[in-house]
Amino acid sequence: MYDYLLIAHAWWRWVVLLAGIAAICTAVRGLVQGLPWAGSVSYCGKLFGLAVDVQFLMGASLYLVFSPLTNVALNVAKGLPAGSDLLFFGVYHGLIMTVAFIDVHVSTVIVRRGRSDAAKHRRSVLLYGQTLLIIIATTPWWRPLFPTH
Ligand code: HEM
């Protein structure tokens, strides 16, 4: 189960990344072309939120149940060697990605409350851009990019 979940979590990063880029690009296009806040534009933001939800669920299951790395890390939380995978996955990755998970949903609410279509587009670019940056910065890019086993 651990292997399958880790592979799914690793591959799903690409879905999160593409959904985030799509949300930002459609908002930029809406802003530049003065499009109304409707259809695919608002839909892309929701898809980004959904993609992060799925990733969060897989990550939390790994963190709390399946990952031997974090199980060990939780038991020896003090004194983890700096720069180690134990410290990264045991502390930073889960914590900061949880912030990204909350951030994407708070962003969706703030975007929806924009007073005009242009304001909603602008907020999408800034806020979804911020979420995507947090995710990119906390993704372990040194792990396999397309793992198969
Ligand atoms: C959008 C958010 C996230 C992205 C893009 C992401 C990405 C990744 C990637 C690429 C890996 C490496 C997979 C591999 O080695 O094949 C990984 C591992 C892991 N992630 Fe995430 N992750 C996210 C959110 C989370 C969250 C919210 C948690 C926990 C609450 C979490 C917990 C873990 C754990 C425990 C591991 C693996 C540790 C091990 O090797 O056993 N992730 N993540």
Rg of the chain, C-alpha, whole Å: 17
Cα dihedral sign, 31-37-39-42: positive
Mutate to test the pocket of ligand 1, among 1, 3, 9, 85 (most ligand atoms within 8 A of CB): 9
Taking the CA of residue 12 as reference, the ligand 1 atom at the shortest distance is 5
pLDDT at site 52: 98
Q: pLDDT of 18-61, one tens digit each?
A: 999 999 999 999 999 999 988 777 899 999 999 999 999 999 99
pLDDT of residue 149: 85
Q: How close is the Cα of 38 to the center of ligand 1, in Å? A: 33
Q: What is the pLDDT of residue 73?
A: 67
Residues 11, 54: Cα–Cα separation, whole Å? 12
What is the reported pTM? 0.92
In order along the chain (149 residues), what is the average pLDDT of each group of 10 residues?
96 98 96 87 91 98 91 68 80 95 97 94 97 98 94
* Res 25: pLDDT: 96
Q: How far is CA 21 from the centre of its chain?
A: 11
From the CA of 17, give the closest atom in ligand 1.
5
Q: Pocket residues for ligand 1 (CB within 6 Å)?
A: 6, 9-10, 13, 16, 52, 55-56, 59-60, 62-63, 67, 69-70, 89, 93-94, 97-98, 100-101, 135, 139-140, 143-144, 147
